Every structure is written in C-alpha cells, then in structure tokens.
Amino acid sequence: MAMALTMKHSIYRSSWESKCKVILLALLILVTGASGTSGGGAAANTTITSSEATNNNSNYSVTYDRRSLIVNGHRKLLISASIHYPRSVPAMWPGLVQLAKEGGADVIETYVFWNGHEPFPGKYYFGGRYDLVKFCKIVQQAGMYMILRIGPFIAAEWNFGGIPVWLHYVPGTIFRTDNEPFKHYMQNFMTFIVNLMKQERLFASQGGPIILAQVENEYGFYEAAYGDGGKRYALWAAKMAVSQNTGVPWIMCEQFDAPIEVIDTCNLFYCDQFTPLSPNKPKIWTENWPGWFKTFGASDPHRPPEDIAFSVARFFQKGGSVQNYYMYHGGTNFGRTSGGPFITTSYDYEAPIDEYGLARFPKWEHLKQLHKAIKLCEHALLNNEPTLLSLGPLQEADVYEDASGGSCAAFLANTDDKNDKVVIFRKMSYNLPAWSVSILPDCRNVVFNTAKVSSQTSLVEMIPSDLQPSSASPVRGLKGLQWEVFEEIAGIWGNADFIRRGFVDHINTTKDTTDYLWYTTSLFVDENEESLINGSNAILQVESKGHVLHVFINKMFQATASGNGSVPSFKLRSPISLKAGKNEISLLSMTMGLQNAGSFYEWVGAGLTSVKVEGFKNGTVDLSSNTWTYKVGLKGESLRIYQGYGLNSKMWVPTSAPPKGQPLTWYKAVVNAPPGDEPVGLDMIHMGKGMAWLNGEEIGRYWPRKSSKNDKCVLQCDYRGKFSPNKCNKGCGEPTQRWYHVPRSWFKPAGNILVIFEEIGGDLTQIKFSLRKVSSICAHVPEDHPPHDLEHLQHGEIEKNIGKPTLKLKCPTNTRVSLVTFASFGTPTGTCGSYTEGNCHDPNSVSLINKACMNQSECAVELSNRNFNMGLCPNTTKNLAVEVQCS
C-alpha cells in the first residue's frame, strides 16, 4: 500500500513480553542445542533466531554456519537479483520481480533510500516509487526471499550516497564516524525502517521474505581515513543493528574488521577467492557487477555474459552460498536522484533486465541456464567438503562427493585466459575453453560451460514515434503540435538572495534544493580599449570545483564548460564579446548529482573559485574578489511551472513555432500517448542540456553529451581474462545517453503534458518518443555444445536427458516468426545482425529453418543428421547460426 506517514519510534510488542521470549528462547537453545542443519554439515552453526518468534506457523528461522544460510532448517544455495524500487515505478515491479524469478533468482535485493524516505528531519515518505512495503509484499507474493540493505549509507551512484543533504547541515555532524549527531539520526532511521518492516511482518522470523539485513556499506575501503573513530563507528553500527532484534542475520559488505555479530561479505567483479573473517560464517557475495554505470560524456561499459557466468561458477565452485547480481535490473535515476557526480539518468548497468524492463539477451538467458546448472549441484555442494584436483598448470577441478557416492558434483575450471585445454577427469576427456568452467552435476556429464553461449540474442531498436498533439491541448487555432514557452532571465531574477565579495560554495548555498546557482557581477570596459576598436575579443578564464557552467554576457549566451565523471573540476578559457561601458557577467553554475562515496565525501564542494578576463591594455582583470550577486535556482523552478497548478500558469505563452537554439527556455506541449504497449523513451539527440517532465513526473536530467572518439572502444569483446570497467567499451564518439525512459504508467490516453527546460538551446521540433522493440532475434549453437535441455532437466535424469545440441528461438509475447533473414549450418561468421556464410555451408539451412520456425512463436532445431548434413567439412567444428524477425 502507498504510504506517506510520520511514525513514532515505538516497539510493537511490549518490552516485558520481548524479554520473556528472549529468556525462554535462550533456555531452549541451551537444552536442545542449535544445530538446525539439514544433511551433513561442516561446522557447528552460529544460530540466529527471532525474539519475536511465536507459535505462528508461518514464522521461520534463519540460521547459518560456515557453509550456508539455513532457512527453517534447510540449507540454501541462493541466487539474488538487485532491483532498486525507486529506480523503476510500481507498475513495473511485479513484472521485474517475475522476470528475475524466471531467470533463476531466489532472492530480490534492494537498498533502502534514506534521502528519499526522510526528505526532512522526522518527516517520512513512502509513496509512489518509494513504497518500500508494497515492493516487499510483491516479492513475498512471488514466493521469493529478500535481502534488505538498510545502510543507511548506500553509495549506489545515488545522490549523496543516500544520506539526506540536510544532515550535513546539522551542527557538528561528520558522516560515517564516531560522531554523535550522525549516529543519532542514523539509528533513528534504521529503527524506523526496522519497525516498519516488523509492523508489516516482513522479516522471515515473522513469516516475511526478508532473510538478511545490511548495515553500512563498503566502509572497509574508507575506515582508515577516520582513524580510531572509524573503528569505533563500525563496531557501534554492527551492535546497533543487531540490537534491533529482527530475527535475521546482519551483514556488512567489504568490512575488513567486521565484528563477530555480523557476516562480512564481498563486493567485486570476482569473489571466488574471498574468505569470511570468521571460519563460522558463510561465503556471501553481495555485489557481482554484471555491467557498470555510465557518466555523461563517457563511452558505454560492457561485460560479456561469458565472463559473468565464469565468475559466478567459480564462486560456487569455491564454496560460495549466496550470490547477488548488482544490478539485475538497474533502472532509471529519475529526477535529480543520480549521484557521482555526472552519473547518467539511465542506470541500465547493462544488467540482465534492461532499463525498460526487457530481458537482455543473451545475458539473461545464459545466466538462467547457469543458475539451473548450479541448482542441480545444490545438494552435493552444501552437504560435502570439496576435493581439489589439479588438471594442469591453470586447470583444476573441485569435486563435492559424499562418502557413499550417492551425490557428486564437479566444477572443471580453465583459468588460462588465452588457450583452450583438453583435460582428463575420472578417466574421461573434457574440452575446456579458455577462461571457462564446466559444470558436471553428476561428476560425469557436462550440462553447462560458461564460455559456450547458445542462448538467443535480441537486437533491440528504438523506433521513432512523432509527438502527436492531443485534442486536450489548450492551444487552439493552429495545426500540428503546439508549444508554449516561458523564458528565464539570464542572471538575477526577482530579488537577489544575497550579495557578497568573492565566491561562495555552490552546494553549501543551494543545499541541493536545485542544480542551479547564479553568480553575477559587472565589468566596466573603457571605450578606448583596443579590443573594442579593432574588434578582437577579450578572453574569459574561469576555474570551478564543478560541475557545469554556462556563461552569459549582457544576457547573451557565450560559452559553456564542464568537468566529467573522473574530474568534476574544470577550467574555462573562452573569447567573449564585451561592449563599452558596463558589462553584466552572469555565470550559471550547475551540479550534476552530488558525491556519493569516499572519505569525508560530504565536504566535497562545487562552484566557482576564480574568474578573470584578459586582453585589456592594463593587463588581466581579476574579478574573483569583486562583489558578486547570488540567486539560488531558476524562476520556473520557483513557480513550479512543470507540475500541478504551474502547468496552467499564465506565465506560459503560446507560440506558432518553438524557438530553436534559444537558451534558458521552458517548453510545454500537450501530447497523446505513443501507440502500442512497448516501453517508451524520449529522444533528446537534438537538444542541448536540461531537464524533462511528463504530467508532473520527473523524467530527469538530459544531456546528449558525446564521448570522445579517442576513447578506447572495441567492436567485439574478448571475454577471456579479468574484466575491468574500461575493458570492453562501446559507443566512442556517440552520445552517452540519447533516450530517456518515460514509464508507460505515467501516460494518460490523451492530454499528457510534456515539459522541457532547455539550458543552452536545441531543436524542439526534433524531439520524439521512441518505442523499444525487438527487431530481430538470433541464436548460434556449436555442434559440441552440452547436449542437455536445462529447461526441463532434473538431477536424476542427466544420463537419460542426453540428446543433441539444439538451437532455440522464442519471439516476444504476442509475436511470431515472420521472416528468416539468415540461416547457415557450417562455419558462419559474424554476430547477430551481421552473420555471413563461411566456406562450409549446408544449402538446406534456410529451407529447414523456414519449415521449423515460420509463423511459430517459438521453435527448436536439433543439430542432427535428420536436419543437416553433419558430414560436411570433416574435422571442423560446425555451427548453426540463425536470425529471424518476429511480428
């Protein structure tokens, strides 16, 4: 249910009742012991149970030992998927959760977003995208578990790391150290969230889905900078969290001195070599990054599915028990929620589910198959000690087998990042591609290899759809889409907020209530200056701590400059046009999201530090110590003309044609919803920089800033070898973000009000909605691919299930194969969208695929003599590659 509330920090059971239960439970543990294991365990359990556990049969315990979590007495090997509720909309949540479940996830993980829930001290909000309870109950209804990472510091490329900006201005506050004001507010929020979850009976100890909770986040990277205060704070945070009596274990990720009360966990691209601090704690991977975030002006990171699968298989091979994808669905940084600075509005993360809610193929399907293969090994993995066998210099096997031979699972790994290897395991020969793991749930048959991707690939396009005028538009008498405009003043509007000699810090002045801060001063130029006489320009030099600056001289836009995601500060050197006499220098400083991590990160500032003008006969003029007039924000923001009553303000002026290239202008149009039900993006490629809204909802910042053509990009990524964020980049020389997600649930059938604020000038007539559609699907299967149908494979049927490698295609919902654009069995080359026949080709390939797949919503084609000439090209590994269109 949606909630906007202020809740007293109360205990939902009487303190006397809770104390009695703790005493009784302690006595019970002393009398009966606390094993809680299922099958053969490795070590005595550390048992975590709930002080709230009653005779309610729906309640269940969550315990652990060094091998795994134990839920209600049963060991669990868990696949978790990060989905952040504020980065999508409630209408998307059920579909996202279900798609994660279909992909093989058991658990949904999310942070809790403090600054979204407590925008003002003691005033809480849980409506709309911040309806945490509703999100948790959707997960529960899907039959899945939850990991609730309360933090409340979260980093997450989220504005200010999730901590409310107002807390920075509470006197004496220092974030994330042994500081009383910070600890006070942190504990208040933590307690509030825990009590809310208890009230809704959402912890596992109450029959709810939450099996783990997290306090703090990656503090180990920064603790040393805070000295002894950091150590005291980490210990306090752990004890404070445990004292909340949630009845589930608490975790601390990347906490290198985690107290014994909590489980320390790993956040890296690879966590197979991670070992918990205590031998009695399970091996948990809270963040496996299947992609990476983007910053405006940078190219697109890409992590191939082969490497992700390799990292996951290695983790479970080496004793892992809980693995979480951060992110499984990244979503969108709506409004001004992105951090960084310079994090894009899109938080797609190249995750298995894309920003718009569509499964990303082949990544989603390849990982789904991996999860199925690992689950086939679950009993053997969780109930036996591994035996490590060397199969070569960089090849090894981990074998999990019970003494009776009743269960056995093996992982064969080749960590050579260049060469395929043939290894002998139990007197049988296995081919291991470079940088891969083969999974043998019965220690004999390979059901999955991380490097062999047989899953279909989708080509997804953004299909343009012109903005259609709505009959509900208030503008009458003109044909076509009608725009209304409101023009900002370049400089101080209304009364100045204050006047001061020299510069103030941007963030300390705006307190993040807006991105915008005006700095204005004046410069007198003598009419006899040579630059005026000979027509040359003076040179403006500006230095800024960040993040973006637009320069207006005498109300005219003249220059812009910015930092980037690596270095927010910048220097500007630009010619400017001045006139004889008094010149108004108006500098619009902007933030692009606040710092979200780092030691003492809350003290990182922004804004101007130096302004000079050179080119005068008496030398350079330093304006830094001038008297400057300041104004926080824009007039349109103050009037809130982008939502509510402001949408009908008389300030809006109809125009027969929207001005092109005009800075500091608000635009409004009333449009119909785009046709169909496909996800929608707003195409802003022809705009400059600004923000957008639909029906008062914040789409977010837009900026089609291009990455450098000199960035290192690749046409095809080599998955082999350790991944880093810059290894496999794409999109050099292209806009980092062209399209901006507009959730379908924000649209009405007609009368949708689109508002754009453009800072530096663009072409409104080129703005379009775009529909996200799958244009083609492809699959590529080699004849030596593991011949098991993982979709329906059960553990006891592995020997019976051995068949032939099979190519499978499945069209999007409500579509069928309408055209076979490529099919070749032999040695085809290329990738989806660019396949070509090789020297070896079965000429019957196209006709066979047509027969098997045309007009079908899905089809499967076996690589067998019945279908193809398997004798083609002897001594060559043949492949079947197919591309089709669905409609």
Rg (CA), the chain: 30
Instruction: Write out the two tokens for 542.
Output: 């500006």
Q: Work out the number of other CB atoms within 10 angstroms of the CB of residue 866.
A: 9
Q: Cα(588)–Cα(596) distance, rounded to whole angstroms?
A: 23
The dihedral through the CA atoms of 798, 800, 806, 809 has a sign that is negative
Q: Cα(140)–Cα(97) distance, rounded to whole angstroms?
A: 10
CB 151 within 8 A of CB 252: no
CB 381 within 8 A of CB 400: yes
Alpha helices in 320-393 (DSSP H): 363-376, 378-383
Instruction: Write out the two tokens for 590.
Output: 């902007």
CA atoms within 13 A on the CB side of 741: 24
Alpha-carbon distances of 263 from 135, 270, 466, 474, rounded to whole Å: 25, 18, 53, 60
Active-site residue flag, 216: no
Instruction: Write out the two tokens for 407.
Output: 């269960």
Buried b (16+ CB within 10 A) or exposed e, 513-539: ebbbbbbbbbbebeeebebbeeeeebe
* CA 7 to chain CA mean position, Å: 30
For residues 626, 630, 636 and 640, what is the CA-based torsion angle, rounded to 10 degrees? Answer: 170
CB 453 within 8 A of CB 362: yes
Q: What are the phi and psi torsion angles at 637 (to 5°)?
A: -65, -45
Q: Work out the number of other CB atoms within 10 angstroms of the CB of residue 499.
A: 12
Strand arrangement of the beta sheet that strand 62-64 belongs to: 62-64, 69-71, 74-76
What is the DSSP track for 781-822?
EETTS----TTT--GGGTTTT----EEEEEPPTT--EEEEEE
Active-site residue flag, 783: no
Q: Work out the number of other CB atoms within 10 angstroms of the CB of residue 191.
A: 16
Q: Cα(864)–Cα(877) distance, rounded to whole angstroms?
A: 13
List, in sequence order, every residue forming a beta bridge with 83; answer none if it has no partner.
329
Q: Cα(801)–Cα(267) distance, rounded to whole angstroms?
A: 37
> Which among 344, 370, 322 has a CA at the least distance from the CA of 80?
322
Q: Spot the catalytic one: 218, 378, 759, 837.
A: 218
The H or E element spanning position 853 is helix 845-853
CA triple 856-857-859, angle to 5 deg: 65
What does the DSSP 8-state code read for residue 603? G
Alpha-carbon distances of 314 from 108, 396, 879, rounded to whole Å: 22, 11, 27
Q: Cα(361)–Cα(450) distance, rounded to whole angstroms?
A: 15
Q: Spot the catalytic one: 254, 287, 355, 837.
A: 287
What burial class does residue 172 get, using C-beta atoms within 10 Å of its C-beta: 0-12 exposed, 13-18 middle, 19+ buried? Answer: exposed
What burial class does residue 764 get, using C-beta atoms within 10 Å of its C-beta: 0-12 exposed, 13-18 middle, 19+ buried? Answer: buried
Ramachandran class of 602: left when φ > 0, alpha when ψ lies in -120 to 50, beta otherwise: alpha
Which residues does the annotation mark as catalytic?
Answer: 218, 287
